[in-house]
Amino acid sequence: MLTISKNRAKTGPVALLVAITLLLWLGSKWYYHDWFSNPFKYVAKTASLTATILMCVSIILSTRLRVIEDFFGGLDKVYQLHKRLGRASFFIILPHPLFLAADQLPHFSGFLRAMWFQHPSGDSYLWGQNFGVAAMLLFAGLIAVTLWIRIRYHRWKKSHEWFGLVLLLVVVHIILVDADIAAYPLLRIWMYAILLLATAGFVYIRFLYRVCGPHFPYAVAHIEKVRDIFEITFEPLGKKMDFRPSQFVYLVVHKEGITPEPHPYSIASGYGLGARFKLGIRQAGDHTRTLDRLAVGDRVTVYGPYGHFSDRFLAGERDCVFIGGGIGITPFLGMWHVALHSEDRCDPTEIPPRLTRLHPEIIRTWRSPLVSLFYVCRTKEEASFDDDIRHEVTSSQFHGFEEFERRGHHYELFLSSVQGRITAEHVNRQVKGGLIDKYIFLCGPSPMVASLVLQIKAMGIDDRQIIVEDFNLV
């Protein structure tokens, strides 16, 4: 079942594409003096053009291309926009058949027949309508599975692949009905270009990504299981992956008995010259429950890395506050390690210049910001990573919490069943010097994050100081 963030998305570029499309359409109608006599068709055509653009952009966003990720500020932001546009495109297309058939009213049976499959008898327009009806029915079924029906991840993943057929049916529908898009040259070029990009995007992510996407062969180097948490360390088998703490990867395990579809996990370690990395994985779903079969030496493919969550932490410009709710704590684990373990850093003369630019955090001269970490869980039993977080403190240069707190760092396990909902005011009281001049990082359930963002803004804190990681895949 789809989970859509309540946080603001970067929709301006998409709105611009829709506006250009509608202006090309209306401008062409004005230029050719080709106005509809049936006013209902203006609503129908506006809906179809808008929905088609949104669907195409949603598919293009799913390609995980670096240029798209960088533009939107992280793949988590890209996927949230992808989900919003996919949902919006379905609801926006609904008026299209309704208003095309509206001239049949008040004859309700004729109204319903006009929206259903027709006997084409060689009429390409009616063939086009049939393809459009098929596209609408398939789209409705897939959206129902995505929005309202809870199914297993691998089945959801498979069902998502059928959106490519929806796109194909839409393209055939547009070609066969031979209406406005075909009639106006500028609109035709514009729409066909966007449809071509969307088709190429679907082919890439569905068939070519596993070969052409950024991927690296790794092997399991170490496995430790604490209660329901796997801590798995991976080592490169060939080309090393260049990553930053808090980024995430798509993991594909090549072992019988473990489901082979890619799953996203946050990197729970800092970068080292050996390019080993650790994932902290909680057993919560069908895939993670099969990881009991994983053994040292097993081969995996890692796709990525993705995300820009740690960029401002690594810049070292301000001290930082981390607020992680539930499994949303995992993106903070790598940054937490980097902040506390200066002994891992290297002399600048030992590191290639390229790496010193990409990884200031591995250089001895880098000053870590002071960090206050709040781990929000309902009960202590659900705080699966609490022991790991505390171990990072005791094994660090501070050798315990007394010196750690004296230096200005802070850690708190916040139990909502005991303390109620976490508030920005509570965090402000616990952080040395308050929140006003800090970078504030948030990741967790959307209602918690959205509420805290509103509270933090109400304290007069600038939007640019609030960094949200929002990777709710489904």
Q: How far apart are CA 100 and CA 115, in angstroms?
A: 8
Q: Which two tokens stand for residue 128?
A: 């086009």
CA distance 247 to 76: 10
pLDDT band at 339 (very low <50, low <70, confident <90, very high): very high
Region 4-8 average pLDDT: 57
| Radius of gyration, CA atoms only, the chain | 26
| DSSP H helices in 204-250 | 209-212
* Predicted pLDDT at 7: 61
Judge whether 12-212 and 311-468 match in fold: no
CB count within 10 Å of CB 397 equals: 11
The pLDDT > 70 percentage for the chain reads 97
Q: Evaluate whether 103 touches 42 at the Cβ level (below 8 Å).
A: no
Please state which of the ranges 2-6, 186-190, 257-261, 395-399 shows the lowest mean pLDDT: 2-6
Best-predicted range by mean pLDDT (57-71, 113-127, 247-261, 343-357):
57-71
The pLDDT of residue 289 is: 84
Q: What percent of the chain has pLDDT over 90?
A: 76
pLDDT of residue 225: 85
Residue that has been written with the tokens 């980097």 in this structure: 338
Q: Return the CATH number of the domain spanning residue range 12-212.
A: 1.20.120
How far is the C-alpha of 102 from the C-alpha of 108, rounded, in Å?
9
257 burial (CB, 10 Å; 0-12 / 13-18 / 19+) is exposed
Superfamily of domain 215-306 in CATH is: Translation factors (2.40.30.10)
- Taking CA atoms, 307 is separated from 13, 29, 71, 374, 389, in Å, by 20, 44, 12, 21, 22
By CB atoms closer than 10 A (0-12, 13-18, 19+), residue 96 is buried
Please give the average per-residue pLDDT across 378-383, as a whole number: 92
**pLDDT tens column, 316-338:** 999 999 999 998 999 999 999 99
Question: What tokens appear for 30 in the block?
Answer: 């004005």
The helix-helix angle for 40-61 and 75-93 (nearest 10°) equals 160
Could you tell me the end-to-end alpha-carbon distance of the chain, in angstroms, rounded to an integer?
6
The DSSP output letter for 325 is E
The mean pLDDT of 233-251, rounded to a whole number, is 94
**What number of other Cβ atoms are within 10 A of residue 215's Cβ?**
19
Per-residue pLDDT band at 152 (split at 50, 70, 90): confident
Return the structure tokens found at 297.
């030496």
Q: What is the pLDDT of residue 173?
A: 95
- pLDDT at residue 57 tops 90: yes
Residues 6 or more apart in contact with residue 344 via CB below 8 angstroms? 270, 272, 338, 362
pLDDT, tens only, 201-216: 999 999 999 999 999 9
More confident residue, 228 or 190: 190
Distance set, CA 289 to CA 47, 257, 259, 277 (Å): 44, 11, 10, 21
Distance (Å, whole) CA 268 – CA 231: 9
Q: Provide the mean pLDDT of the chain.
A: 91
Looking at the predicted structure, is the pLDDT value of residue 6 above 60?
A: no
Q: Write down the pLDDT at residue 155.
A: 78
Residue in 431, 473, 360, 375 with CA at minimum distance from that of residue 64: 473
Is the confidence at residue 222, as pLDDT, over 70? yes
pLDDT score of 2: 44
Listed by start position, the domains of the chain span 12-212, 215-306, 311-468
**Confidence band (pLDDT; 50, 70, 90) for 280?**
confident
Rounded to 5 degrees, what angle do the CA atoms 278, 319, 433 make?
135
Q: What is the pLDDT of residue 353?
A: 77
SS3 content of the chain, % helix, strand, coil (to 5): 55, 15, 30
Q: So what's the pLDDT on residue 471? A: 62
Q: Mean pLDDT across the stretch 67-73?
A: 94
Contact 243, 271 (CB under 8 A): yes
Question: Using one digit for the tens of pLDDT, what is the confidence trace for 18-55?
Answer: 999 999 999 999 999 999 999 999 999 999 999 999 99
Average the pLDDT over 105-132 and give the result: 93
What is the length of the chain?
474
Amino acid at 40: F
Q: How far apart are CA 446 and CA 437, in angstroms?
A: 24
Closest among 459, 354, 337 to 396, alpha carbons compared: 337
| pLDDT tens digits along 349-369 | 777 777 777 788 888 888 899
**What pTM value is reported for the model?**
0.90
Contact residues for 77 (Cβ-Cβ < 8 A; gap 6+): 9, 10, 470
Domain 311-468 has CATH 3.40.50.80: yes
pLDDT band at 136 (very low <50, low <70, confident <90, very high): very high
Predicted pLDDT of residue 1: 42
* Residue 156: pLDDT band with limits 50, 70, 90: confident
Task: Identify the bridge partners of residue 280 per DSSP, sorted by sequence position.
Answer: 231
Whole-number pLDDT of residue 188: 96
Q: pLDDT category, 472, cuts 50, 70, 90?
A: low
Give CA angle at 420 (414, 424), nearest 5°: 70
Dihedral of CA atoms 142, 147, 148, 152 in degrees, nearest 10, equals 70
Taking CA atoms, 114 is separated from 6, 47, 271, in Å, by 38, 17, 61
Residue 180 token pair: 């406005």
